[in-house]
A and B are shown apart, each in its own frame.
Chain A
Amino acid sequence: MTEAPLIPTAELGHLALVLAFGLCIVAIAASVFGARMNDTRALLVGRRALLGAAVCSSVAVFILLLAFVYGDYSLEFVWQTSSSQTPLFYRITGVWGGQAGSLLFWSWMMTVYAALAVAGPWPADRALLPGFVVVTGAVSGFFLGLTSFVANPFARIVIDGHVTRVAEGNGLNPLLQHPGMAFHPPTLYLGFTGLVIPYAFGMAALAARRTDAAWIRASRRWMLIAWAFLSIGLALGGRWAYDVLGWGGYWAWDPVENAAFMPWLAATAFLHSVMIQERRGNFKVWNMALIILSFALVVIGTFLTRAGLVSSVHSFAKSDIGPYFLVFTSLMLLASFALLWSRLPDLQTREPMEQLVSRESAFLANNLLFMGILFAVFWGTLFPLFSEILTDQRLTVGKPYFNKVTVPLFCLLILLMAIAPSVGWRRAEGRRVLAQLAWPALATAGITATLFGLGLRRPLAVVGIAIGVFALISTVVEIGRGVVARHRRGEGWLTAAVELFAKGRRRYGGYVVHVGISVMAIGIVGSNVYQEERDVALKVGERTELGGFGFTFRGVEDFRSADREGIAGILDASEGTRALGQLKPVKAVPILKPDQPMTLPSVINRPLQDLYALMTAYDPESGQATFKLYINPLIGWVWSGLLILVAGTLIAAWPDRSAERALATELRRMLGPRGAEA
C-alpha cells in the first residue's frame, strides 16, 4: 500500500454522474412545465436536458473505463473487480463485474437509449414527447441517483482517514473471465434497459390521451431491438454456464435466471398481443398492462437478485440498495396502474371479439400460455421466500418443479406456433386450417415414425420432438407458400424469396424467429431427455464408454494461463475406431485466489451431440483421475436456433427505406412543395 499522487479524474467522473442525475430532474421539470403551459421552449429544454444526461453519463462510464484500464486501485470498485494481472479485455469487462459498476453501466445504457429516441426524428405524435421525456428521465434518474449517492463506483479507498492507493487489485472473479460472461451482462442489460422505450411511449400515450396504436408503432423497432438483446443475453448466459460452470447444462431455473427470463416472457406476449390492437383496435388495456408488467419485471428482477432476496431472506437487511428498489418499484407500479386506471374510459373497445377459430383467438391463447408460464416462474421463484416468511419452512423450488410445470405449457405454445399462422383473422374455417396443416402434419408423422424406428422411444422426447418438428415444417411451408405465390406472379425464385422478405419484413421476419424457436425447442428436448452422464475413475491407459463413445485416459499435463494454473486431464475421445480428438478438462487454481479452485469442462461439439468432460479429482500418487462425462444430444441446435432467431428479428426490425421514401414522395404530393419544405 503506497500513498501515490491521485488522479482527480475519479472525482470528475462522480461529478459527471451527479450532473447527469441533475439533468434528468431538469428534463422532468421542464417537460411537465412545458406540457402544462403548452410552452414549446420548455419542451425543447427538457429534450436537451435528456440528451445532456446521456452525454454526462457517457463521460462517467468513460472515466471509469480508464480507471480500469490504467489500474487505479485507489478506487474501491476498481480494486475489487480487477488487478494488473487481469488481461486487458477482462479489465474492461470488470466495469460491469460488480454492483456499483453494473448500476452505472445500466443507467448509462438507459440514458443513451432515451437520448437516441429523442435525438432522431420523432417517430410519433408530438403530444407523446413530454410524457416520454418524463418517464425515461424518472427511471434513468433513479438509477443515476443510486450510483451517484448510494453505490458510487468512484468511491476512493479510505484507510485511517487517508485516501489510499492499493498496490494491486483484488482481481475479477475467475469464473467471470470468459467471453460468454464478458458479453452476457451487457447484452442482457441492453435488453432490460431497452424496454424502457416502449414503456415510456405507452405511459406517454396514456398521459396525452392518445390511445390508438400510434405509441405501439412508434416504439415497435425499439421493442424488437430490446427483445433481441434480451434473447441473446439469456442465451449467452446459458452458454457461459455450459462452458464454465460444468454441470453439463445451460439452464438451471436459478432465481437469477428466472428474474431475467420473466421480462422476456412478458415482452414476448406483448410483441404478439399488440398485433391485435394494430389490426383490430382491441386489447388496449391489456397491451398497456403488458408493457407495464414487462418493464416492472425488469426492475423487480433486478431488485430481487441485487437485494439477495431470493436466495435468502436474511441477506435483505444487509443490502443497502434493496429498500430503494422496493420503494421505486412500488411507486412505479402504483403510478403506472393508477394512470392506466384513470384512462380506462379512453380505452374502451368497440370491436367485438371474434370467432373461436381465428387469429385473434390464437393470439389470446398465446397470451394465456405466456402468462401461465410467467406466473409459474414467478410463483416458483418467490415460493421459498413466502414459505420461509409464513411457515418458517425452508424449501427449495428448483429444476424439477419448473420443468414439470412449464414444459406442458411450452409444448402447447409451440404447437400453437405451428398452427396459428395458418389461421386467418376474424373468422377462419376449421377445415381450411386443417387442409393447410395436413402436409406438415403428415411429414411430421413420417419423421417421428422414422425416429421411433431408429430408437427414439421415451414418451416425452417423442412428443417434444414431434411438436418441434411440426412447428419447424409448418413455418417453413408457410414461408414457402409466400414464395410460390410470388413466383406464380412471374418472379424468379430468388427474386420471389428476396422480395417476400423485403416487402413483408415484419411477418416473414417473425416466421424466421419462429423457425429459430422450433430449432431451439428440438435442441432443448434432445439435450434434456437424452442427456447421459457418468462418474468414472480411470488410471492412465484405461478406457470407458458412454453413449457409444469411447474415452481413453492418456494422463495429465500442466495447465497454465495468465492468471491461473493447475492440471488438465487428457481424454482421447473416439466413436468406434474413429478418433474424435482430445478433451482436456482442467482443474485449476487462480493465482491470486488460491482458495477458489475451479473445474473447467472441456467440450467437443458435434452436430448431433456434444461430448462434455470434467475432471473432478486427481490423485497423483495412484495416477487415478475421476471424470464426469456427459453426452449432450442436439445441444448445438439450441445455439443455432438462437442465431436464426436473431436473424429473424433483424429482418423484422430492419428499416424499410424504400417504403419511407415512397411515403415522403406521397407526402410531398399531398402537401404540395411548400408543405414538404416546412
Chain B
Amino acid sequence: MVLKRIASVLGGIALVLGTLAAGRVSAAVMAQATVPATVPATVPTTVPTTTTSTTTSTTTQTTTTDAAPSAEAPTAADTVAAVDPEAVAAIARELNCPLCQGYSLLDCPLQVCGQMRQLIADRLAEGWSADQVRAQFVADYGPQILSAPPARGWGLLAWLAPLVAALSGAAVLWLRRKAGATAASATVESGDGTRIQSGDGIGSGAAIKTDADAASDAEAGAEAERRRRLEALARDDA
C-alpha cells in the first residue's frame, strides 16, 4: 500500500521533471541559437575596447568609475557610485575564466581576467544589475561561461536529479525497513517466543543500551571474532 503510494509520487515527480525538461530544452536551444557566441580567442581584443584605461587602473578597491558612460548602459551612470568588492566577487565567482580550464573568473590570475573583473565593477557602477552583467557575459561567450547551469530548461535536470536520487534512496530504505519489520514480527509470532515483538517501538525497555552493555557487547564481538579466526586458522592448518 505504502509502496504503491510512494511509487506513484516518485513517478509523478519523474513525469513533471521530464515534461519540464523536454518542454524547455527546445526553447533553450532556440534561444541559444540566436546568441552570437564569441570564441574565447577574441577575448583580448574585445575586453580592452569595453574597459577604459584598463592596464593601469586594475583595482576594484578604488573604483571611482572613470569610465565614460557607455551608450548601451541601461541607466544613466553620471553618479559616481562606489562598488562593493563583494558584489563584484559574487558575480565573478559564478563565471568561468573564458581562457583557462577550471578557473573561476574571480580567481584567475591572468591579467585579462583582472580586466574583466574591472569591467564588472564598471558596469555595476554604471547601474547595471547583476543579472544584466551576467546576461551580457552569456551573450558574449555562450552559456558555458556560467560555472553552474541555470536552474531552468535543460539545466534544471542537472539540479533536480541528485535530489530525486537522494529521495528515492531514502524511500527505498524506508520501504525495506517497513518490509523487514513486518517480516520480523511475523517470524516472532510464529517463533519460539523468546524474542520480543520487534514492532513495539522505542523505549519498551527490552533492549536498551547502557555503557556497560556496550562494553560487554564489544567484548562479545571480540570474542566471536577470535573464535572465527581460530576456526579459520584451524581449517587452514588441518
Name A residues whose Cβ lies closer than 8 Å to a Cβ of B.
122, 124-126, 214, 217, 245-249, 252, 254, 278-279, 311, 352-357, 361, 364, 368, 371-372, 375-376, 379-380, 383, 387, 391-401, 404-405, 409, 424-432, 481, 485, 504, 507, 533-537, 544, 599, 614, 616-617, 619, 622, 624, 626, 628, 663, 666-667, 670-671, 675-676, 678
Interface pair B61/A534, CB less than 8 Å apart: yes
What residues on B are CB-neighbors of A666 within 8 Å? 226, 230
Interface membership of B218, Cβ < 8 A: yes
Q: Flag if B143 contacts A393 (CB, 8 Å).
A: yes
What are 15 A-B contacts defined by CB distance under 8 Å? A124-B232, A126-B235, A311-B101, A368-B166, A372-B169, A379-B158, A395-B146, A396-B96, A396-B149, A397-B149, A398-B104, A426-B207, A427-B207, A534-B60, A663-B229
| Interchain CB contact under 8 A, A122 and B234 | no
Residue of B nearest to A372 (CB): B166
Which chain B residues border A671 with CB–CB below 8 Å? 234, 237
Q: Is B132 an interface residue (CB 8 A)?
A: no
- 14 other A-B residue contacts (CB within 8 Å) besides A247-B107, A426-B207, A535-B114: A354-B198, A357-B202, A368-B173, A375-B166, A376-B162, A387-B149, A393-B28, A393-B154, A399-B104, A429-B209, A481-B211, A536-B59, A626-B58, A626-B114
Q: Decide yes or no: A617 and B111 within 8 Å by CB, A372-B165, A379-B161, A537-B59 being known contacts.
A: yes
A537 & B230 in contact (Cβ 8 Å cutoff)? no
Q: What's the Cα separation between A537 and B60 when bound, in Å?
A: 9
B50 on the A face (CB < 8 A): no
Inter-subunit contact B229/A383 (CB<8 Å): no
Q: Nearest Cβ in chain A — how far from B156, in angstroms? A: 11
1/0 per residue B205-216: CB within 8 Å of A? 011111101110
Task: Kindly identify which residue among A278, A401, A544, A678 contacts B149, using a CB–CB cutoff of 8 Å.
Answer: A401
Decide: A663 and B56 in contact? CB cutoff 8 A.
no
Contacts of A432 in B (CB 8 A): 208-210
The answer to whether A397 and B158 touch across the interface, beta carbons within 8 angstroms, is yes
Among the 9-residue stretches B12-20, B74-82, B174-182, the one with 4 or more Cβ atoms under 8 Å from chain A is: B174-182
User: Is the CB of B43 closer than 8 A to any CB of chain A?
Assistant: no
Q: Is the Cβ of B60 less than 8 Å from the Cβ of A392?
A: no
Q: Which residue of chain A has its CB nearest to the CB of B55?
A: A619
Cα–Cα distance between A380 and B158 once the two chains are bound (Å): 7
What residue in chain B is nearest A249 (Cβ atoms)?
B107
The reply to whether A247 and B104 form a contact with Cβ atoms under 8 Å apart is yes
Interface bits B145-160 vs A (CB < 8 Å: 1, else 0): 1111100001101110
Kindly provide the distance from the CB of A453 to the nearest chain B CB, expressed in whole angstroms.
23
Contact B232 A214 (CB under 8 A): yes
- The complex places the Cα of A536 from the Cα of B62 at a distance, in Å, of 9
Complex interface: chain A residues within 8 A of B147 (CB)? 396, 398-401
A463 to chain B, nearest CB (A): 19
**How many angstroms from the CA of A247 to the CA of B105 in the assembled complex?**
10
Closest to A352 in B: B184
Give Cα distance in the complex from A675 to B238, angstroms: 8
Shortest C-beta distance, A371 to chain B (Å), equals 6
* Closest B residue by C-beta to A398: B147
Given A394-B142, A544-B61, residue A353 in contact with residue B180 (CB < 8 A): yes
Could you say which residues of chain A place their CB within 8 Å of the CB of B232?
A: 124-125, 214
Q: Mark B129-151, 1 if CB is under 8 A from A, else 0.
A: 00000000000001111111100
Q: Which residue numbers of B lie inside 8 Å of A, CB to CB?
A: 25, 28-29, 32, 55-61, 85, 89, 93-94, 96, 101-104, 106-111, 114, 117-118, 142-149, 154-155, 157-159, 161-162, 165-166, 169-170, 173, 176-177, 180-181, 183-184, 187, 198, 201-203, 206-211, 213-215, 217-218, 221, 225-226, 228-230, 232-237
With A and B bound together, what is the CA distance between A622 and B170 in angstroms? 63
A535, B180: Cβ atoms closer than 8 Å: no
Complex Cα gap A509–B183 (Å): 37
Docked CA distance A398–B142 (Å): 15
B228, chain A: closest CB distance, angstroms = 7
Report B-chain residues with C-beta under 8 Å of the C-beta of A616: 109-111, 114
Question: Are A379 and B237 neighbours in the complex by a CB distance under 8 Å?
Answer: no
B181 neighbours in A (Cβ, 8 Å): 352-353
Q: Which residues of B contact A429 (CB under 8 A)?
A: 202-203, 208-209
Given contacts A355-B202, A393-B32, A617-B58, contact A247 B144 (CB under 8 A): no
Establish whether residues B209 and A428, one from each chain, have CB atoms under 8 Å apart when the complex forms: yes
Of B25, B61, B106, B107, most buried by chain A (CB within 10 Å of CB) is B107
Contacts of B94 in A (CB 8 A): 400
Query: How many A-B Cβ pairs are below 8 Å?
Result: 215
A352-B144 in contact (CB<8A): no
Specify the chain B residue showing the minimal Cβ separation from A427: B207
In the complex, what's the smallest C-beta–C-beta distance from B61 to chain A, in angstroms? 6
Task: Check B59 against A371 for contact (C-beta < 8 Å).
Answer: no
Known A125-B235, A352-B181: A430·B202 in contact at CB below 8 Å: yes
Distance in Å: Cβ of A290 to nearest Cβ of chain B:
13
Report the separation of the CA atoms of residues A252 and B100 in the bound assembly, to the nearest whole angstrom. Answer: 13
* Distance, CA A387 to CA B24, complexed state (A): 13
Nearest 7 A/B pairs, CB to CB:
A424-B209, A352-B184, A247-B107, A398-B147, A353-B180, A401-B148, A376-B162
Residues of chain B within 8 A of A375, CB atoms compared: 161-162, 165-166
Residue in A352, A428, A431, A617 whose CB lies within 8 Å of B180? A352
User: Across the interface, do B169 and A371 meet the contact criterion of CB distance under 8 Å?
Assistant: yes
Chain A residue at minimum C-beta to C-beta distance from B206: A427
A459 to chain B minimum Cβ distance, whole angstroms, is 15
B109 touches A614 (CB 8 A): yes
Which residue of chain A has its CB nearest to the CB of B147? Answer: A398
* Closest B residue, CB atoms, query A601: B109
Q: How far is the CA of A356 from the CA of B201 in the complex (A)?
A: 9
Cβ contacts under 8 Å, A401 to chain B: 147-149, 158-159
Report chain A residues within 8 Å CB of B117: 535
A404 CA / B94 CA spacing, docked (Å): 12
Measured in the bound complex, the distance between the Cα atoms of B144 and A278 in whole Å is 48
**Considering the chains assembled together, what is the distance between the CA atoms of A304 and B38 in angstroms?**
28
Shortest Cβ distance from B136 into chain A, in angstroms? Answer: 17
Taken together as a complex, chains A and B put the C-alpha atoms of A279 and B177 apart, in Å, by 18
- Among B25, B143, B207, max chain A CB count under 10 A is at B207
Cβ B148 vs Cβ A398 within 8 A: yes
CA distance A397 to B150 in the complex (A): 10
Out of A254, A368, A678, name the residue touching B169 (CB < 8 Å).
A368
Q: How far is the CA of A424 from the CA of B209 in the complex (A)?
A: 6
Task: Name the B residues within 8 Å of A396 (CB-CB).
Answer: 96, 144-149
Of the candidates A124, A380, A428, which one forms a contact with B208 in the assembled complex, judged by CB atoms under 8 Å apart? Answer: A428
Tell which of A394, A430, A622, A670 touches B234, judged by Cβ atoms closer than 8 Å: A670
**A546's closest neighbor in chain B, by CB?**
B61
Q: A399-B104, A405-B162 are in contact. Are A394 and B144 (CB under 8 A)?
A: yes
Q: Which residues of B sit under 8 angstroms from A428, Cβ to Cβ?
A: 202, 208-209
Query: Within 8 Å CB of A628, what residues of B?
Result: 109, 114
Assess whether A404 is in contact with B61, with CB atoms less than 8 Å apart: no
Establish whether residues B233 and A663, one from each chain, have CB atoms under 8 Å apart when the complex forms: yes
- Expressed in whole angstroms, the Cα–Cα distance for A578 and B225 within the complex equals 59
The minimal Cβ–Cβ distance linking B161 to chain A, given in whole angstroms, is: 5
Check if B203 sits within 8 Å of A391, measured CB to CB.
no
Q: B215, A431: Cβ atoms under 8 Å?
A: no
Distance A623 CA – B57 CA, assembled complex (angstroms)? 13
Asked whether A352 lies within 8 Å of B226 as measured between CB atoms, the reply is no
The smallest C-beta distance from A482 to any residue of chain B, in angstroms, reads 9
**Bound form: Cα–Cα A678–B81 in Å:** 89
Contacts A398-B104, A628-B109 given: A387-B114 contact, CB under 8 Å?
no
